[in-house]
């Protein structure tokens, strides 16, 4: 059985982020023993038999990696799990290098088959690969994709403080909030994405209105409109943008090019609005409306407002 170290990172408000709690939940489901190592949550209680809270003056990914590698050795662990977030993906390969272990990124499934087997998408999800660690020490480092594993319960184990590594190379000096505290596509349960079919940047107001009607939706975009400067890079969904898997993905005026689809095809429910009945996006969509997005969006927004008010 595996003894797993799980890194629990903080979100902007200083509480454990959801993706980390999912990594913790995943570790508890396949590991015989779990040690949570947190940073930045003030030692708040976690659902783990043991919880070490790193305490440092400054955050550094190399420092955190050194701490995780040291704790791995002290605990005699077999694996290190992190969330597949900007922070987790930054730290994980460094831990792997320190442990001389493979780094499995963006794992979507785990199983114990006489040792952990990791399932992960490659080629932007066009291929599914199952791998296991086969090094001399059998160690593995993995980042776990969001929304694939059940989160750990509320915890009771407060963090025992431990001074974080002090020999830091890249030092975090500031975290600037994103504009307007907008919900990021990688975290939103609902995404309304627009493409070139919106015709001009001003028409994205219609996409924003629909997202606002849901209340908990983020605005996404195809690469075509990001490259045209209509929308910021951070909103791009796809092979060279963000990979998303929300509960509901609404693609408006997006043709469904293979590179876009790669980033959203594991969404739970997909809706497409496109004036071309032969657009490839309809092959993927659970529900489609054929027609002019500029006419359909305002009606849909009103209907969603009504539905939300009634809910």
Partner 1 sequence: MNIVACIKRVPATETQPKVAADGMGLDHSALEYMLSFYDEIALEEAIRSKEAHGGEVTALTLGPTEASKELRDCLARGADKGRVSLDPACHPREPRTTPTPTAATDTARGAELVFCGRQATDRDNAAVGPMLATMLGWSCVTDVIELHIDGTSATAKRESERGIEHFRFTLPAVITCQKGLNEPRYAGLKGIMAAKKKPIEEAEPMLVESATEVVGVSLPPARPAGRIVGEGPDAVPALLEALRTEAKVL
**Which residues between 237 and 296 bind ligand FAD (CB under 6 A)?**
238-241, 253-255, 257, 259-260, 263, 273-276, 279, 292-294
CB of 88 or CB of 241, closer to ligand FAD? 241
Q: Decide which of partner 1, ligand FAD, none touches 293; Cβ closer than 5 to 8 Å per partner kind.
A: ligand FAD
Reduced 3-state DSSP string for 209-260: HHHHHHCCEEEEECHHHHHCCCCCHHHEECCCCECCCCCEEEEECCCCCHHH
CB of 82 or CB of 270, closer to ligand FAD? 270
Q: Which two tokens mark 148?
A: 């694939």
Binding of ligand FAD at residue 225 (CB under 6 A)?
A: yes
Closest CA to 43 of 160, 194, 156, 123: 160
Q: Decide which of partner 1, ligand FAD, none touches 254; Cβ closer than 5 to 8 Å per partner kind.
A: ligand FAD
Of 26-34, 52-60, 169-177, 220-228, which part binds ligand FAD (CB under 6 A)?
Answer: 220-228
Nearest distance from C-beta of residue 26 to ligand FAD, angstroms:
27
CB of 67 or CB of 187, closer to ligand FAD? 187
The rounded distance, in Å, linking the Cα atoms of 17 and 21 is 7
CB of 96 or CB of 273, closer to ligand FAD? 273
The rounded distance, in Å, linking the Cα atoms of 185 and 134 is 35
Nearest distance from C-beta of residue 102 to partner 1, angstroms:
4
The answer to whether 275 touches 293, Cβ cutoff 8 Å, is yes
Nearest distance from C-beta of residue 68 to partner 1, angstroms:
12
If 0-12 CB within 10 Å is exposed, 13-18 middle and 19+ buried, where does residue 131 land?
middle
CB of 80 or CB of 279, closer to ligand FAD? 279
Residue with tokens 């009606």: 299
The rounded distance, in Å, linking the Cα atoms of 25 and 81 is 11
- Please, which of residues 170-209 interact with ligand FAD by CB under 6 A? 195-197
Which residues on adjacent β-strands are paired with residue 79? Answer: 4, 140
Nearest distance from C-beta of residue 29 to partner 1, angstroms:
19
The answer to whether 25 touches 149, Cβ cutoff 8 Å, is yes
Nearest distance from C-beta of residue 261 to partner 1, angstroms:
10
Closest CA to 78 of 43, 109, 102, 47: 102
Q: What is the dihedral of CA 285, 286, 288, 293, to 10 degrees?
A: -60
Residue with tokens 């497409």: 272
Nearest distance from C-beta of residue 258 to ligand FAD, angstroms:
7
Site string for ligand FAD, 97-136 (x = CB under 6 A): ----------------------------------------
Q: Decide which of ligand FAD, partner 1, none touches 222; Cβ closer than 5 to 8 Å per partner kind.
A: ligand FAD
CB of 46 or CB of 293, closer to partner 1? 293
> Residues in the site for ligand FAD, rule: CB under 6 A?
195-197, 222-225, 236, 238-241, 253-255, 257, 259-260, 263, 273-276, 279, 292-294
């Amino acid at each position: 059985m595996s003894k797993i170290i799980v890194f629990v990172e903080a979100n902007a408000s200083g509480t454990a982020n959801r993706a980390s709690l999912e990594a913790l939940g995943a570790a508890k489901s396949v590991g015989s023993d779990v040690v949570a190592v947190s940073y930045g949550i003030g030692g708040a209680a976690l659902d783990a038999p043991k919880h070490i809270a790193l305490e440092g003056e400054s955050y550094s990914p190399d420092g955190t990696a050194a701490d995780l590698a040291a704790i791995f050795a002290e605990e005699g662990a077999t694996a290190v799990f992190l969330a597949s977030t900007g922070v987790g993906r930054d730290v994980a390969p460094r831990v792997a290098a320190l442990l001389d272990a493979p780094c499995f990124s963006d794992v979507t499934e785990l199983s114990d088959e006489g040792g952990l087997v990791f399932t992960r998408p490659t080629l932007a999800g066009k291929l599914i690969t199952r791998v296991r660690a086969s090094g001399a020490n059998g160690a593995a480092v993995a980042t776990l994709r969001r929304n694939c594993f059940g989160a750990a319960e509320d915890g009771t184990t407060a963090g025992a403080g431990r001074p974080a590594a002090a020999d830091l190379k890249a030092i975090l000096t500031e975290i600037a909030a994103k504009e307007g505290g907008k919900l990021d596509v990688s975290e939103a349960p609902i995404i309304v994405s627009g493409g070139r079919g919106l015709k001009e940047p001003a028409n994205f107001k219609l996409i924003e209105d629909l997202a606002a009607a849901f209340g908990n939706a983020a605005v996404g975009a195809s690469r075509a409109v990001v490259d045209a400067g209509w929308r910021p890079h951070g909103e791009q969904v796809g092979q060279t943008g963000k990979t998303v898997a929300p509960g509901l993905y609404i693609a408006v005026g997006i043709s469904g090019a293979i590179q876009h689809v790669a980033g959203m095809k594991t969404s739970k429910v997909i809706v497409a609005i496109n004036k071309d009945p032969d657009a490839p996006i309809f092959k993927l969509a659970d529900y489609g409306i054929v027609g002019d997005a500029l006419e359909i969006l305002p009606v849909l927004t009103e209907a969603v407002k009504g539905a939300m008010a009634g809910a």
